[in-house]
Structure formats: structure tokens, C-alpha cells
């Protein structure tokens, strides 16, 4: 066995990265942490992308025997997503700082993780990709972009494609958050992103939007730059694994690895309907949580999720 246990921050320089929008992110750098032991044939790797506003150290509470990520069995690589203030972000780029930082997508985040694993760590296949929230979106993107790269996928409170309701909510959140961040111009030219247009009771929707904005605003000190969360906002708001001319089902049928989706029925940040229907259409297992915690069900029902996920990974 190769002993590569580490919980300190590591970094890899990827060079100039061409993004999905055609722009180039100069001198791209990704940071990551590893937990557990890598076996001789490198077959026990679990890749974990970070959630919105999250950093790799935030996953430590979910790592350990009996928890979501068992580091006594698996070699866990937690990679910081672009824009989180640790990997390349508006706050830490030498030349492309602040608003000069190019727009990024969920697909771009996945590409940095692919380059890290293959070019820097010599890993060309993983046991699983597992992510929570925005990490779950990256998990779906992994399944679509590199279908032969993993044995299994575990998206938790994520979605393969933002629904119209999700987009309206996140657009409103985006605008509120941008104003809180210093009057950043994020006008989208879109219509109909009010609570009434979203088809939800005004009080419920506005409470959700303001709650998300308040939670995001608390991260300013951590990020030290409002453009960091704003860039991740836009990546989430525009997320879809579907290319032009395809349907979600068509993309899903090209997956090579099965996935086990964990879904919160009361989730108001990411619609539960899309991942439920997607799993049903592909005849794949999924877990629906009826927790009152909504999008944070992964915290409230951690051990329930951990038992189900570890069973899925061991089969």
C-alpha cells in the first residue's frame, strides 16, 4: 500500500486553461486535499468536488469510518472548485483579478479536476465521483463528459440541469448578491424572474432568495472578493449537461457508469423533480429524503445518507 495520507492543502499548476466560453484562464491553479491510502493499482480513488462557497477543508467532517467518505477504505481526493478563493479565483489571479476574471462553468471545474488527476496524480480511473450541491452538479457533468472515467457516481442534492424555476430563483439571488457586493453589473436582460412568475407563493420564494443572499453575504470575509461567489453563481445558474440538439434523457443514456442520486424532497434551492425523473428514466436507484432541512438535508441526515451511499459503493 502507498501511504499518501494528507489533510494539508496541496496545489497543482495547470497552465493556461481554455474555457467553454472560448476565453482563456491564465496560469490556472487548483488546490486539493487527500485522505486515506492509495492502493497499488489506484483502484480505490474517490473524487470529491466542492460545493458552492465551499473549500476542501469543509469536507473533513464527512470523512472517516462510518461517515459519508470512509478513508479506511478509499483514497479521497477533494478538489477546490474554480472561484472558491483557493483554486484560481478573481481574488487570487495575478492578472485576471476581480471583474477581469473570465466567466466559468461547471464543465470548466470538471476539466481542472480531470487535468489534476491525469496529468499530476497519474490517476486515469476512479472508483467514484461524489459531490454535494454544486459538487453534485459537477458529478453529473463528470458522468457526461468522461463516462469511462469512474465506476460510479453519487450526486447529492445536485441536478443534471437547472429547471426554469431554479434559474429564476438563482437569477434573483444573483442580482441581490451582486448589489450587496458593491453594485456589480450583472443585468441579464431576462424577464420574469420575480417570485410571482416563478409560480411560488411570494413570501416563500422571497424568504428563500433573501436567505440565500444572507448566507452568501456572510462569506465575503472568507472570500475577500465578491467576484468569487458571483462567478460560481453564474456557473450554477447556467448549469446543464445537455448540449444543443440533445435531450437530458439522450445524454443520460450515454453514461457508462451508474449513479445513485440523493435528493431532498423539500429542497427549494435545487428542484428535486429533475433528478428524480432523470433517475427514473434511466432506471437507476435514488434516495429521497423528506427532511425539513431542505437543501441542507445532507447535514441533517448525514448518517442515513452515509449508510445508503456506502452500500451503493460496495456493491
Domain boundaries, the chain: 10-162+241-314, 164-236
Q: Is the pLDDT of residue 2 over 80?
A: no
Q: Are 261 and 235 a contacting pair, CB within 8 Å? A: no
What would the grid cell of residue 71 be?
478513508
Q: Whose CA is closest to 310, among 288, 293, 289, 287?
A: 287
CA angle 272, 55, 35 (to 5 degrees): 100
Q: What backbone torsions phi and psi does residue 90 show, to the nearest 5 degrees?
A: -55, -25
288, three cell numbers: 429521497
Tell the residue number behind the cell numbers 486553461, with chain if given.
Answer: 17
Q: Give, rounded to a whole angstrom, the gap between the first and last alpha carbons of the chain.
A: 23
- In this prediction, residue 291 carries a pLDDT of 84
Assign 295 a pLDDT band (cuts: 50, 70, 90).
very high
What confidence tens digit (pLDDT) does each residue in 204-215 have? 555 555 555 555
pLDDT at residue number 3: 39
Q: Looking at residue 176, what is its pLDDT? A: 67
- pTM for the model: 0.86
Task: Give burial (CB, 10 Å; 0-12/13-18/19+) of 244.
Answer: exposed
Of the listed ranges 78-87, 183-192, 282-291, the one predicted with least confidence:
183-192
Helix (H, G, I), strand (E, B) or coil at 260: coil
The SS3 of residue 312 is helix
At 182, is the pLDDT very low, low, confident or very high (cuts 50, 70, 90)? very low
Q: Is the pLDDT of residue 202 over 80?
A: no
Count CA within 13 A, CB hemisphere, residue 53: 12
CATH of 10-162+241-314, one of 3.10.20.30, 3.40.50.1820, 3.40.50.10490, 3.40.50.11900: 3.40.50.1820
Residue in this structure with the C-alpha cell 467576484, named with its chain if needed: 227
Mean pLDDT of 17-25: 97
Q: Which three cell numbers stand for residue 62?
A: 464527512
For residue 1, pLDDT beyond 80: no
Reported as a pLDDT band with limits 50, 70 and 90, residue 167 is confident
Amino acid at each position: 500500500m502507498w501511504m499518501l495520507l494528507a489533510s494539508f492543502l496541496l496545489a497543482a499548476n495547470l497552465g493556461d486553461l481554455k474555457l467553454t466560453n472560448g476565453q482563456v484562464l491564465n496560469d490556472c491553479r487548483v488546490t486539493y486535499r487527500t485522505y486515506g491510502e492509495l492502493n497499488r493499482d489506484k483502484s480505490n480513488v474517490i473524487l470529491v468536488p466542492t460545493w458552492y462557497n465551499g473549500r476542501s477543508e469543509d469536507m473533513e467532517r464527512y470523512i472517516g469510518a462510518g461517515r459519508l467518505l470512509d478513508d479506511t477504505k478509499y483514497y479521497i481526493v477533494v478538489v477546490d472548485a474554480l472561484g472558491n478563493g483557493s483554486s484560481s479565483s478573481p481574488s487570487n489571479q495575478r492578472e485576471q483579478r476581480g471583474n477581469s476574471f473570465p466567466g466559468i462553468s461547471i464543465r470548466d471545474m470538471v476539466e481542472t479536476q480531470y487535468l489534476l488527476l491525469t496529468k499530476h496524480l497519474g490517476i486515469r480511473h476512479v472508483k467514484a465521483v461524489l459531490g454535494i450541491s454544486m459538487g453534485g452538479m459537477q458529478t453529473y457533468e463528470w458522468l457526461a463528459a468522461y463516462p469511462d472515467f469512474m465506476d460510479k457516481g453519487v450526486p447529492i442534492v445536485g441536478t443534471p440541469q437547472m429547471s426554469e424555476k431554479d434559474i429564476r430563483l438563482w437569477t434573483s439571488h444573483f442580482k441581490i448578491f451582486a448589489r450587496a457586493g458593491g453594485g456589480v453589473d450583472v443585468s441579464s436582460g431576462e424577464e420574469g424572474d420575480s417570485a410571482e412568475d416563478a409560480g411560488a407563493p411570494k413570501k416563500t420564494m422571497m424568504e428563500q432568495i433573501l436567505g440565500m443572499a444572507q448566507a452568501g453575504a456572510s462569506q465575503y470575509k472568507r472570500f475577500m472578493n465578491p467576484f468569487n461567489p458571483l462567478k460560481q453563481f453564474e456557473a450554477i445558474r447556467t448549469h446543464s449537461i445537455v448540449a444543443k440538439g440533445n435531450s437530458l434523457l439522450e445524454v443520460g443514456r450515454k453514461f457508462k457508469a451508474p449513479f445513485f442520486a440523493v435528493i431532498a424532497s423539500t429542497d427549494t434551492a435545487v428542484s428535486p423533480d429533475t433528478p428524480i425523473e432523470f433517475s427514473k428514466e434511466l432506471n437507476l436507484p435514488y434516495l429521497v429524503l423528506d427532511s425539513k432541512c431542505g437543501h441542507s438535508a445532507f447535514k441533517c441526515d448525514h448518517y442515513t445518507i452515509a449508510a445508503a451511499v456506502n452500500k451503493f459503493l460496495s456493491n
